[in-house]
Amino acid sequence: MSLRPFHLAVTVNDLAAARKFYGDLLGCGEGRSDARWIDFDLFGHQFVVHLDEHKLVPAAHNSVDYHDVPLPHYGVVLTMDAWHALALRVQGKVEFLISPTIRFAGLAGEQATMFFCDPSGNALEFKAFADDAMIFAR
């Protein structure tokens, strides 16, 4: 059975800024859209932003491997090559919450990770594993 794309819808407070961030900066292809929402191809997944002019930005964090991980957050597990390419593409264009780093080095679940926010304050994590068997390793 092959893995199917997920569907995720989040709120943003500015569709034009979301279009520039997800489309231009992250390179996500745009699908259908309307006056209050846009579909994006987020690395093969259906990702939709919906306009909410009154969106509040959550401020919760949880400590993971000595980093303050923002909650909630979402993202994609990329290949290591795609992760490095994305890190280079966004360098100097986003403010990292957690700079590109290797988490759990030498342990089960070792992964490359980085966190940053979209213009509406939605926290994103992009990660990659040198060995995909580590994705659910305990």
- In the chain the domains, ranked by start, together with CATH numbers, are 7-51 (3.30.720), 60-134 (3.10.180.10)
* CA gap 92, 94 in Å, rounded: 6
Please give the average per-residue pLDDT across 100-119, as a whole number. Answer: 95
Q: HSE on the CB side for 74, CA within 13 Å?
A: 16
pLDDT on residue 110 = 94
Q: Give the β-pairing of 111-117 and 73-78.
A: unpaired
Q: Which ranges of 1-138 does DSSP label H, i.e. alpha helix?
A: 15-18, 80-90
> What confidence tens digit (pLDDT) does each residue in 52-103 have?
999 888 778 898 888 889 999 999 999 999 999 999 999 999 999 999 999 9
Task: Give the model's confidence band at 1: pLDDT under 50 very low, under 70 low, under 90 confident, else very high.
Answer: low
**The pair of three-digit structure tokens given for residue 60, joined into one six-digit string:** 């919760």
Helix (H, G, I), strand (E, B) or coil at 85: helix
